[in-house]
Structure 1
């Protein structure tokens, strides 16, 4: 990225986030107000009256027919793994079904009450009633339906990929490969997902493409990890696509123009401008036992030469058992807490676990982006090894990018590091940061890419989608019973 692009990246303002309405409280008694006479009953102030729901017009016969047909498209949107028999609906039942489907496509099928705690990326509230009423009145139901889904190429690519994998499943899927499978068998298996496989190209080339799609080392050999990826069932691939489509529905409909995204599952950080990536770097994210949460926040400052205040969970489990003498030799300090306890601090320096830079953003999990003195992991294809924070391959480059619009800071990050002083640098403009979990995504040519599901979130989320669909989707009828007739 050239210098003008860097400046533009930080100069453009972040989109304002929606404010959370405050809960109305009764007015406090001012010093000039006197208490009510003894025995007098004081009535609380009247509660705010909620406006009545927007009334929905009756559907015409043509709208009724269209709506019943459209409600059959739940599988295409990843709201269910297989089509379910449906009974035609009419009147209020049909309107309720449209409202339910509108909410599911806009903010997700799974209710936030059923989220894991670490799924802290929560969709904004959405009421489909006003827009549905308007669409019925103006006879624009298809346009209303098209406006519900996330307006991103990432979601659209998954929707197309879902149709591809459903077709593979419905035509028999694939069988498990063995380590001794013949070249023809392996080639036929690869061709199911990669239409560019030919009988004349070397098998190693086709295997390398598959390995890149799976985020593996492209050796061109049918090694154990490649065999494992190829033997993931087509049903599990569909579940992964469904889970990722649901996560897209949790995203805001307008993303900040300037943002940093971390794909936790792939351990990659990408800087986006609009909906397009402009630069990326490898990262190290949380191990399966120390999961990095999904969340969004704003990076507000960078700490240069940060000390590490070791979290008590790590101190108790990994450091205190070493003994005080060993900790002292390794440069750690044990300090008293105001409560009378003890905590461990690693002073700033080249050996600090946080390296030379820490990128701070508010979140309830105490995670952040940071440098690291341990560089070896960045050359690995298995980079889920942190305690939950995100270690960066090129932290100085990212810091320079973030301060580029400030003449007093631009080009000075390394100089600040070289002072060996701990100091906090406020960014010229806060930069949005999203920690996301993408295990399925489409390339620009439509080919599906998959990553391992290290936290086992895909199957769990797909199961929650199915359960929610069965519980609230009124278009589904008992699969053993015939569909109702008009």
Structure 2
């Protein structure tokens, strides 16, 4: 931690030195930059740039006959100030300003009046940095699929050269640059929290660590309680929640004041607000500020990967937060808990369009689940398939008659499972009373579940990849865009017949993995990295 803080301090010192150079009044650049010199340096690759960046530069300057943009020989250059301020703002977006040559630009600026070659290099490198940062803010710094192989939501195209030309010609350069990053409340709150945490990290001693203990319940006494109170006090400094503002005490009693604080902390970290300080709560208390900063940065990157317009009405399924939110006109109108895939059957991130619902569905059991999950239950209990409503069919003959499970020696089967299982509608059906269908290559859908007690768990990774819903009928109401479920729909639901109901209008749905999130009440939440995708993405980004 000390080494990290020293490194951060040095980077911060260098960053602010660059800002001092950049934002002092720009001295007179008396040299005239020749358009032919710009064309020559670009054509001869006199300045080392990546291939994609060089191509954008060529298109940008060719469209303006290689005339300079930032350096025109005037004593003041307001556009250059705007460009340099934009590049310096990369740190506030969770990016590294050194990726956009901030320090090098500051050095070139100091010597730009000494030769036309230096001034031309400053001109070209400034444009290159602006184009690169504009692209990164618009669609993400890194390739989504390379950073997170489980992310399958396509990123939007962005033509940085065309964007910059348009912004210059419209005379709205500053405003256009400021609007490149996501303007959603969620992103902007994460950005604000990141700035606060970065300042706090420089001034805060090492985060207090809570030792493991038995589960602590209200009214218990335990030696670690004073440490927990100190840790909550640190959380108050970080997040400012009023429940965290505790009266200093060395008491070992888990009193009502601390219970209220722990419940608020649990809510902030996606845990059940039961006030019990168990393993998951202690793990959350022990997350250092440094890690939360990294979480904020990688999740701001994920938000940059998403399309800017998700649709007037859409569903957002956050697998990391175990929550589904239905959104209409940028406002959440329905929230519910969900159950997602186990770690070895993790739910990927992708998007689609909800098209129809199936009432009283059959469950056609995937072969891997039949073999790995259900076969062992049948081997332990020869009546399991019958009592749970499963029909057994020959795997290659779906239209054949069902086979009596009692006629098969299930103990002889292991890796080979030559049968197809289908569960009838009913109270035992794993899909409950309704499932929501949308086309996707992962055969994933949303559905009801008879296992309601699992929604009380902190970490809800119990499915085989599909999403189980806490409030399926409320979702049906939203999907139908009705104030309540129509009578016919309710009657069909009670009929026990399998009926398909098409939505009046397709409903966009996005399954994402976001471990740092802000809501409409301006509260920031942190969720466990259940699939280790934060860790993998941060390693790729080298953050």
TM-score bracket for the superposition, by shorter chain length: 0.7 to 0.9
Q: Is the 8 A contact 1:81 1:466 kept in 2?
A: no
Corresponding residue number in structure 1 for 2:477: 400
Judged with a 3 Å threshold, the aligned counterparts in structure 2 of structure 1 residues 310 and 82 are, in CA distance, closer, same or farther, namely farther
Task: After TM superposition, give the deviation of residue 139 of structure 1 in Å.
Answer: 4.4
Residue 343 of structure 1, aligned match among 420, 430, 433: 420
Note the C-alpha offset of 1:145.
Answer: 1.1
Aligned to 1:334: 392
Deviations 1:326-369 (A, max 9, x none): 55434322323448953222122221111111100011111000
* 1:155-174 equivalences in 2 (<5 Å): 155-172=187-204, 174=206
Partner of 1:354: 431
Q: Does 1:103 align with 2:161?
A: no
Deviation at 1:251, TM superposition (A): 1.6
420-429 or 443-452: which moved more?
A: 443-452
Rounded Cα–Cα distance in structure 2 between residues aligned with 1:310 and 1:81: 51
When residues 277 and 151 of structure 1 are mapped into structure 2, their CA distance, relative to the original with a 3 A threshold, is same
Deviation at 1:321, TM superposition (A): 4.3
Unaligned runs of 5+ in 1: 1-51, 468-486
Within 2, Cα distance between the matches of 1:445 and 1:415?
38
* CA shift digits 1:154-189 (9 cap, x unpaired): 110110011111112222354232342526523432
**Mapping 1:17-32, distance limit 5 Å:** none
Q: Using the alignment, how far apart are the partners of 2:333 and 2:145 within structure 1? A: 36
3-state DSSP class of the match of 1:87? helix
Partner of 1:465: 541
Give 1:194 deviation, angstroms.
Answer: 3.3
- Are 1:150 and 2:191 counterparts? no
Q: CA–CA distance in 2 between the matches of 1:221 and 1:352?
A: 33
Alignment of 1:412-431 (within 5 A): 412-431=488-507
**Deviations, residues 412-435 of structure 1 (Å, cap 9, x unaligned):** 333112221112111111111111
Q: Kindly indicate whether structure 1 or structure 2 has the higher relative contact order, using CA contacts under 8 Å at least 6 residues apart.
A: 1
Q: Which residue of 1 aligns with 2:234?
A: 189
Give the superposition deviation at 1:272: 0.8
Query: How big is the shift at 1:106?
Result: 0.6
What's the C-alpha RMSD, in Å, of the aligned pairs? 2.8
Query: How is 1:39-438 mapped onto 2 (pairs within 5 angstroms)?
Result: 53-54=59-60, 55=63, 58-61=68-71, 62=77, 63-80=79-96, 86-88=103-105, 90-172=122-204, 174-179=206-211, 180=224, 182=226, 185-195=230-240, 196=242, 197-200=244-247, 202-220=257-275, 222-322=277-377, 325-326=382-383, 328-329=385-386, 330-338=388-396, 342-405=419-482, 410-438=486-514
Q: TM-score, normalised by structure 2?
A: 0.70
Determine if contact 2:145/2:152 at 8 Å carries over to the other structure.
no
Q: What do residues 40-98 of structure 1 show as CA deviations (whole Å, max 9, x unaligned)?
A: xxxxxxxxxxxx94535522332234323321222210124999972116122222221
Partner Cα separation in structure 1 for residue 160 and residue 199 of structure 2: 32
User: How many pairs are equivalent?
Assistant: 415
Greater C-alpha Rg: 2
In the alignment, which residue of structure 1 is the partner of 2:410?
A: none
Q: What residue ranges of structure 2 are gaps of 5+ in the alignment?
A: 1-57, 72-76, 109-121, 212-223, 249-256, 399-417
Q: What is the CA distance between 1:389 and its match in structure 2? A: 0.6
User: Secondary structure of 1:86's match?
Assistant: helix
Does the C-alpha gap of structure 1 residues 466 and 203 become closer, same or farther in structure 2, counting only changes over 3 Å?
same
Provide closer, same or farther for how the CA distance between residues 60 and 95 of structure 1 changes in structure 2, counting only shifts above 3 A. closer
What SS does the aligned partner of 2:130 have?
helix
Q: Which has the higher helix share?
A: 2
Distance (Å, rounded) in 2 between the aligned partners of 1:174 and 1:82: 27
Match of 2:104, SS state, is: coil
CA distance in 2, matches of 1:445, 1:111: 31
Preserved contact between residue 79 and residue 465 of structure 1 (Cα < 8 Å): no
Aligned residues of 2:147 and 2:540 also touching (Cα < 8 A):
no
Q: Is the 8 A contact 1:406 1:428 kept in 2?
A: no
- Secondary structure (helix, strand or coil) at the match of 1:289 reads helix
How many Å apart are 1:133 and its aligned residue?
1.4
What is the alpha-carbon distance in structure 1 between the residues aligned to residue 367 and residue 278 of structure 2? 40
- Distance in 2 separating the partners of 1:362 and 1:299: 8
Secondary structure of the 1:76 match is helix
For residues 289-339 of structure 1, give each alpha carbon's deviation from its aligned partner in whole angstroms, at most 9, with x where no partner exists. 221111111110001111111112212212234558555434322323448
What is the rounded CA distance, in whole Å, between the counterparts of 2:304 and 2:175 in structure 1? 18
Instruction: Name the SS for the 1:95 alignment partner.
Output: helix
Residue 393 of structure 1: how far off its partner (Å): 1.4
| TM-aligned CA deviation for residue 463 of structure 1 | 3.0
Taking structure 1 as reference, are residues 404 and 232 closer, same or farther at Cα in structure 2, changes over 3 Å only?
closer
